[in-house]
């Protein structure tokens, strides 16, 4: 593999991976392929979750 050979010349990587025509909801085409996290990991729930309410916090100094 000689660097002077055009066939073996290193090609510059694309700025972004090819984006498919149809991307499933919740999938980022710019992220590497792999198991995507559950929607609730990066998307706010449609309804307030009583277990993750921000106003419910343990008291300080308790």
Q: Could you tell me what percentage of the chain is helix, strand and coil, using 3-state DSSP and rounding each to the nearest 5?
A: 10, 0, 90
- Report how far residue 30's alpha carbon sits from residue 48's, in angstroms, rounded to the nearest whole number: 30
Would you state the pLDDT for residue 51?
Answer: 64
- Report how far residue 40's alpha carbon sits from residue 51's, in angstroms, rounded to the nearest whole number: 13
pTM: 0.14
Would you state the pLDDT for residue 27?
Answer: 63
> What is the chain's Cα-based Rg?
23
Q: What are the distances in angstroms from CA 30 to CA 16, 18, 46? A: 7, 8, 25
Would you state the pLDDT for residue 34?
Answer: 59
Summarize pLDDT for 2-61 with one digit per residue, the tens: 555 566 556 665 566 666 566 666 666 666 555 655 554 555 656 666 666 566 566 666
């Amino acid at each position: 593999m000689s660097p002077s050979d055009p066939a073996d010349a290193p090609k510059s990587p694309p700025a972004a991976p090819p984006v498919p025509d149809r991307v499933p909801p919740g999938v980022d085409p710019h992220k590497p392929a792999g198991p995507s996290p559950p929607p609730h990991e990066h998307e706010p729930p449609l309804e307030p979750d009583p277990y993750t309410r921000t106003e419910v916090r343990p008291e300080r100094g308790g």
